[in-house]
């Protein structure tokens, strides 16, 4: 925001809903979880995750890598001072 104010740029921000729900895990990356308490099953099983879910430690990192690649492909540059700031 400081750069925006300093250079008189327009500031646009996005708030993504459900950003962590569709990214697939890397090949060979195995993450297991217990069934949620409300899940109705005859036996208690451990689930192997195939996709990232909200609350998973890797979720934010995976999303950032996808977002960074998309923004760079669109011609944005990443700030060397703050890697969460992209500019044109």
7-41 confidence digits (pLDDT tens): 998 877 766 656 666 677 777 888 888 877 777 77
43-83 confidence digits (pLDDT tens): 777 888 877 776 677 777 878 888 888 899 999 999 999 88
CB 49 within 8 A of CB 60: no
CB 47 within 8 A of CB 32: yes
Q: Residue 80: left if φ>0, alpha if ψ -120 to 50, beta else—which one?
A: alpha
pLDDT at site 74:
93
pLDDT at site 78:
92
What DSSP element (H or E) covers 46? strand 46-48
């Amino acid at each position: 925001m400081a750069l925006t104010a300093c250079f008189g740029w327009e500031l646009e921000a996005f708030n993504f809903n459900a950003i962590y729900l569709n990214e697939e895990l890397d090949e060979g990356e195995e993450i297991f979880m217990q069934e949620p308490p409300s899940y109705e099953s005859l036996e208690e099983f451990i689930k192997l995750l195939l996709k990232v879910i909200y609350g998973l430690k890797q979720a934010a990192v995976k999303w950032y890598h996808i977002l960074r690649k998309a923004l760079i492909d669109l011609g944005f540059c990443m700030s060397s001072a703050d890697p969460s700031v992209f500019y044109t």
